[in-house]
Amino acid sequence: MSKIKELYRKNVYGVMGTLIFHILLVTGFWVAEMNLNVEILPEEAILLDFTLPDDQKEITETEMEKQQEKNVASDQSMKNIQQSTSNRAVNDAAKNDASKKDKFFDDNYNRDIEDAKKMVADVNKQLSKKIPAIKKYEMPEVTTDGQDPDSIKNVIYSGKSNIHYFLENRFHLRLPIPVYLAKSGGEVKVDIQVDRSGKVIKAQARPVKNSNDPMLTEYATQAAERTVFNADTKAPLIQRGSITYMFVAQ
């Protein structure tokens, strides 16, 4: 008996520990068996409803349409801005070209104006100078005072030179002879205009033939201007004719 007590005293803790272990082990199996018997319920799926009420759908669609309109307006605005920028660039370039062209033409115009002003100034300066009076040369005259008009000839000889005039149905009353003044020879024809009173109102010398002496036309023109023809009230108001002067070198 004493040996059993002594053995119990020595192994009491081990026995208690073994006992407790087995109790826990049995408890664990029992609990596990209970859990296996529990009916496993399926998990319920969670459904999320993203549908909107009809009134909210209408509001959302309206907002989307507004947003789309804003986007379209924004795109159109950007296009307009780009187009405006492009047009402005083109217009600016055109204006620059036009301004350059205008400047070019303005410079040429101003230069022409200055040249014209200078030309006018030069002309006025020349006109302001006193024009020397042309010397009135003295020359003998042939008159027909007291002669029968039918006997008066239109060809006047003076030495080797001669004067010939043509004025239909008119004859001279006074005819200056300039051939004595010339030192060189040549033929000068002067176109004349005569009024009804017989006065030469205009005389224009043609280019001289076979002579380079400028004085021949001067002599002939003065002689023609001094010539007087008979008056005729039936003659044309302005009658045209000519006087030819043949100068012989002295």
Q: Give the CA distances from residue 138 to residues 82, 226, 229, 250, in Å, rounded to whole numbers and listed in that order.
A: 92, 11, 20, 17
Query: 47-96: per-residue pLDDT in tens?
Result: 555 555 555 545 556 667 666 776 666 666 666 666 666 666 656 666 66
Pair (153, 242) in one structural domain: yes
Pair (206, 228) in one structural domain: yes
User: Quick check: 16 pLDDT over 70?
Assistant: yes
State the average pLDDT over residues 186-204. 96
Which CATH number does the domain housing residue 237 bear? 3.30.2420.10
Give CA–CA dist 12/114, Å, rounded. 143
What's the domain range around 90?
76-132
Q: Is 174 in contact with 143 (CB distance < 8 Å)?
A: yes
Query: 100-129: per-residue pLDDT in tens?
Result: 656 666 777 788 888 888 888 876 766 565
| Full-model pTM | 0.48
**Residue 131: pLDDT band with limits 50, 70, 90:** very low
Higher pLDDT, residue 136 or 231: 231
**Residue 189: pLDDT band with limits 50, 70, 90:** very high
User: Quick check: 7 pLDDT over 80?
Assistant: no
Pair (20, 109) in one structural domain: no
Contacts of 142 (CB under 8 A, 6+ apart): 156, 172, 174, 175, 177
Residue 21, pLDDT score:
81
Residue 43 lies in a domain: no
Pair (122, 175) in one structural domain: no
